[in-house]
Amino acid sequence: MNMSVMADIRAFGITGWKNSGKTTLMERLVLELCKRGYSVSTLKHAHHNVDVDQPGKDSHRHRQAGAREVILASANRWALMHELRDKAEPPLEFLLSKLEPVDLVLVEGYKQHSIAKIEASFRPASQPLLAFENGSIKAVAAGYQPDGLNVPALGINDIPVIADFVLRQTGLTV
């Protein structure tokens, strides 16, 4: 069994090149796993300066004034924003430790991290598949038939099969 368990957190990744179908695959996989009764959280890595806050709003103004952390809370949800203020990006393990316990955390991105993952490839890209060089990629979910793989090729639209694969890889099912 090939489990990706970090500090009692079961995590499995979805990776791929830009516009490869990662987010759509994540969305559909979360829906399928939740439909099956699993509790799922997600963690998405972004390479750009992402901001979930709106300029002019109170919480944004708090961050701009220098607050290290700002919690935005309402009756429906809460969000914690943490400013790194020139500190290094935290490792995946640290971020996973911030999540409440669930059956599975799906991680989008983190191409070079050792977490077990599926590569999404909706159509052939100008770059070669990451799976040829990256041993942490356990399968490729593709919208075409990739050649020369040493890992299983799964249909990118065959979400039940992909879900079964992830559940087996993480030890949530046999």
Q: Write phi, then psi, for 8 (nearest 5 degrees).
A: 65, 15
Q: What is the pLDDT of residues 65-97, one digit of tens each?
A: 888 888 888 899 888 888 888 899 899 999 999
Q: Which CATH superfamily is domain 5-48+88-169 in?
A: P-loop containing nucleotide triphosphate hydrolases (3.40.50.300)
Q: Which residue has the tokens 């070079």?
A: 112
Q: Give the separation between CA 107 and CA 117, rounded to whole angstroms.
A: 8
- When pLDDT is averaged across residues 140-154 and rounded to a whole number, the result is 96
DSSP state string for 36-83: TT--EEEEE--SS----S-TTSHHHHHHHHT-SEEEEE-SS-EEEEE-
- Tell me which range, 13-27, 36-50, 70-84, is most confidently predicted by mean pLDDT: 13-27
Confidence of residue 14 (pLDDT cuts 50, 70, 90): very high
pLDDT at position 126, please?
84
Q: Tell me, what amino acid is at 35?
A: K
Average pLDDT, the chain: 90
- When pLDDT is averaged across residues 101-122 and rounded to a whole number, the result is 95
- When pLDDT is averaged across residues 114-129 and rounded to a whole number, the result is 93
- When pLDDT is averaged across residues 40-65 and rounded to a whole number, the result is 83
pLDDT at position 8, please?
77
Confidence of residue 6 (pLDDT cuts 50, 70, 90): low
